[in-house]
């Protein structure tokens, strides 16, 4: 099985089964297992790619570990052979924080780019179902059942919960003006 990884360059191009992102993670869109890892037959794709990189099968009791903590990533440069203990130690040094992955620089650049273009959050977002006024009203009625508020405002209960807990729409203050 040829994986065609030699010719891939980090771009925003999407094609076939592999999406190449600016972060340099090469994400496979093969059908994932229950843990989010893409599969090739019975094997995880990252394991197949790492074995190809090493030129040998992965040792018994060892895993294809990701430096980037991205289960969909099949970039050979992000994979290494290690034990479960080594993998957990590697993860714990980053504390599983997605912003400490190898793609931190790319994320920072993308964030700076978004800020320079002007934020598209809240009611300025073209898909927003809520506006600042509705958000204030939802927060004032925080004691009511989430389902009732969700139906009234035409959104999911999770949206109402996130608004109330300020996980989303945090930029909206309680007072107008």
| In the predicted structure, residue 17 carries a pLDDT above the cut 80 | no
| In the predicted structure, residue 70 carries a pLDDT above the cut 50 | yes
Residue 107 · residue 99 · CB < 8 Å: yes
pLDDT tens string 100-134: 444 444 555 555 544 444 456 787 777 888 999 99
Residue 64 · residue 46 · CB < 8 Å: yes
Mean pLDDT across the stretch 149-170? 93
CB < 8 Å & 24+ apart, contacts of 76-82: 76/5, 76/49, 76/50, 76/52, 77/24, 78/24, 78/25, 78/102, 79/46, 79/49, 79/50, 79/53, 80/50, 81/50, 81/54
Computed over every residue of the chain, the mean pLDDT equals 77
Q: Which of 52, 43, 98 is nearest to 75 (CA)?
A: 52
pLDDT tens string 28-44: 888 888 888 898 888 88
Instruction: Say what the pLDDT of residue 163 is.
Output: 93
Instruction: Say what the pLDDT of residue 108 is.
Output: 52
Q: What is the pTM of this model?
A: 0.43
Instruction: Say what the pLDDT of residue 6 is.
Output: 46
Cα end-to-end span (Å), the chain: 62
């Amino acid at each position: 099985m040829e994986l065609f990884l030699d010719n891939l360059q980090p771009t925003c191009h999407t094609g076939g089964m592999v999406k190449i992102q600016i972060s340099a993670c090469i994400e496979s869109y093969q059908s994932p297992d229950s843990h989010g890892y893409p599969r090739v037959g019975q094997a995880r794709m990252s394991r197949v790619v790492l074995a190809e990189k090493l030129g040998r099968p992965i040792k018994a009791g060892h895993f294809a570990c990701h430096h980037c903590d991205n289960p969909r990533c099949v970039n050979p440069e992000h994979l290494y052979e290690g034990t479960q203990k080594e993998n957990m130690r590697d993860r714990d040094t980053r504390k599983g924080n997605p912003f400490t992955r190898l793609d931190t620089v790319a994320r920072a650049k993308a964030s700076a780019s978004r800020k320079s273009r002007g934020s598209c959050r809240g009611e300025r977002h073209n898909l927003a179902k809520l506006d600042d006024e509705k958000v204030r009203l939802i927060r004032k009625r925080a004691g009511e059942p989430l389902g009732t508020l969700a139906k009234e405002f035409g959104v999911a209960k999770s949206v109402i919960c996130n608004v109330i807990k300020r996980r989303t729409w945090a930029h909206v203050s309680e007072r107008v003006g």
